[in-house]
Amino acid sequence: MTYATFAWRNLTRRPVRTTLTAGGVALAVAVAVSLGGFNLGYRNAISGSIEQLGFQVMVMAKGCPYEAATLMLKGGTGLIYLPEDAHEQIRTDPDIAEITPIFIGIAEKQGFALDGSPAASSFAILTGVDTPSFLAMKPWLQLKTGRGYDGGRWFAPGATNEIVMGYEVAEYEQRKVGDTFYATIVPHGSVEPRQHAFTVVGVLERTGSQDDGTVFLPLHVAQQLFARDGELTIIGIKLREFNAIRMREFEGRWLKIPEVQVVSLEQVKGALVSLVGTAQTMVAAVALIAILVAVIGVVNSILMSVHERTGEIGVLKAVGANRAQIFRLVWFETLLICLAGAIPGSLFAAGAARLTDAALRAVLNIGVSQSLVRITPELLGIAILGAVILGLFAGIWPAGRAASLRPVAAIRSGE
């Protein structure tokens, strides 16, 4: 027999109490692991989504960086525009490797998804792109093939009613190549909505990015439909060499254009991370409280156990146990109860990551398509190690109390 098996036997003496205490630890660890997974997954998802944009720098009309961030990832709502000649000026910059002008507008769709999916809103993001420069920026974009999608292509020169649909929006709208897509647009300066019928000429393969939910059309067509000729929403730029110094130099050169801001990916990442920073802090506070409650529960449970076994601890001393051995025994009990909670708690959090992801998406309106919760073996290891360390601290008081019992008094109190 070892101290661990002896300690485990002691814990099984009160199975309900032990289970409840370990359950408290499991809950706290599950919350902590989910929070850690969210931190990790969210940053990862933001990075992934931004990399899918294809550009490192964005030029847009001056506004708040949060709007810039959501604009890039979700299309935004309160759109502001910059003059198209800014694109003509900036494209001459020698540091630019690729540049593409983009126009984004919001249109009302004719109907909802045929399958009634709530994910399909009544609005569609229409993105006007300059096809050659846009595809140079995003060479990974592929047109879907197969039945109903064969013959897919980008817009013909001069076409005014052709669109290419992202994977998800095409799925929601049940559209294939050759189908018609109706959208209602309110042109700038008008209150009269106008319905347009577009022909779907291509559907994109899934990218896992914001492009999946976008309807693409030629840049100048989009500008005309929204009555914003000569205006752009953003200019996407890939620099030949991207670092903080180059970025600052580039920004310094082009901030001279009135009403224009130059935003780097890093700024956007920072803005997006800070968007959910408050929520993360609140969840962290809840996790911390859960951990504190669990630790108090463990201390209380072990103290009760020590109190109930006062006489028995006296007997152990009488048969040869010294202070350190009694301390070790009770410490083992604390450690085991923490492990008994931490391991299932971690596994539960890992197993429920998809549910957590769905719950977070329901609560937080975040414009990223990748999983928001990423639970790694390292994270699970840290959580279990953390629970062990907390268990070691939680065990000090009850173990010390048990170790300091005088055998005669302890045996007498237990009789």
For binding to other proteins (CB under 8 A), which residues are involved? Answer: 1-3, 6, 9-10, 12-13, 311-312, 315-323, 325, 406-408, 411, 414-415
Q: How far is the CB of 303 from other proteins (least distance, A)?
A: 19
Q: How far apart are CA 109 and CA 184, in angstroms?
A: 6
Q: How far is the CB of 405 from other proteins (least distance, A)?
A: 9
Cβ count near 157 (within 10 Å): 6
Which CB atom, from 14 or from 361, has the smaller least distance to other proteins?
Answer: 14
Q: How far is the CB of 412 from other proteins (least distance, A)?
A: 9
Which CB atom, from 291 or from 410, has the smaller least distance to other proteins?
Answer: 410
Q: How far is the CB of 401 from other proteins (least distance, A)?
A: 15
Which CB atom, from 8 or from 182, has the smaller least distance to other proteins?
Answer: 8
Q: How far apart are CA 164 and CA 204, in angstroms?
A: 7
Q: How far apart are CA 178 and CA 175, in angstroms?
A: 8
Which CB atom, from 108 or from 312, has the smaller least distance to other proteins?
Answer: 312
Q: How far apart are CA 398 and CA 203, in angstroms?
A: 66
Q: Give 135's Cβ-side CA count (13 Å radius).
A: 12
Q: How far is the CB of 19 from other proteins (least distance, A)?
A: 16
Q: How far apart are CA 108 and CA 57, in angstroms?
A: 30
Which CB atom, from 1 or from 191, has the smaller least distance to other proteins?
Answer: 1
Which CB atom, from 10 or from 334, has the smaller least distance to other proteins?
Answer: 10
Q: How far is the CB of 284 from other proteins (least distance, A)?
A: 39
DSSP 243: S
What is each CA distance from 35 to 77, 264, 350, in whole angstroms? 29, 28, 11
Q: Please, where are the H alpha helices in 309-322?
A: 310-318
165-171-174-177 Cα dihedral, nearest 10 degrees: 40
Which CB atom, from 13 or from 194, has the smaller least distance to other proteins?
Answer: 13
What is each CA distance from 355 to 35, 273, 349, in whole angstroms? 13, 21, 9
Q: How far is the CB of 324 from other proteins (least distance, A)?
A: 9
Single-letter amino acid code for the residue at 93? D
